[in-house]
Amino acid sequence: MKKTPRFVPSFVLGLVLAVVFSLSGCAQKSVIVSKGSPEEREDYQGMTFLGSDRSCPVYRGLCGGDLREILAQSDLSLEQQEEFYQLVCGEKCSVKGCYEFFNALPDDARVSLIRAFEFYGYHVHGYG
């Protein structure tokens, strides 16, 4: 009887993981906000992928009230503010939805939203 290997070679495992992540949406583009020094941002410390399952429960500082204040400072309509808030912090938060919403905004609205984030000390990355 032929023996099967006890472990999967690392390159095969890496390939499988890459396919799984790309199919699950983990490799998709996203809007990211961060706070901190440029060095911390380069090390990906304090970064939040807007709309990720992990950001919703973990990054309550943004979802607890800061985001509503940030959105109020932007030129987005009340409906747009609520839609974006739900995409970031709602029960069915969505990385893809945040990215698509952000990039579908007219340039002036997107710039006003970025400036509102910056006013509160956040840096916006990953859009466009």
Q: Which pTM value belongs to this model? A: 0.65
Q: Report if residue 8 sits inside a domain.
A: no
Q: Report if residue 24 sits inside a domain.
A: no
Q: Report if residue 89 sits inside a domain.
A: yes
Q: How is 27-60 classified by DSSP, letter by letter?
A: TS---EEE-S-HHHHHTTTTEEETT-TTHHHH-H
Q: Report if residue 80 sits inside a domain.
A: yes
Q: Report if residue 12 sits inside a domain.
A: no
Question: What gap in Å lies between CA 100 and CA 76, rounded to an integer?
Answer: 15
* pLDDT of the residue at 43: 53
Handedness of CA 69, 45, 98, 53 (dihedral sign): negative
Reported as a single tens digit per residue, the pLDDT across 61-70 is 677 678 889 9
Reported as a single tens digit per residue, the pLDDT across 36-58 is 666 655 555 556 667 665 554 44
Point out the residues of the chain with pLDDT beneath 50.
7-27, 56-60
Q: Report if residue 22 sits inside a domain.
A: no
Q: Report if residue 14 sits inside a domain.
A: no
The domain of 97 spans 29-125
What is the tally of structural domains in the chain? 1
* pLDDT of the residue at 73: 94
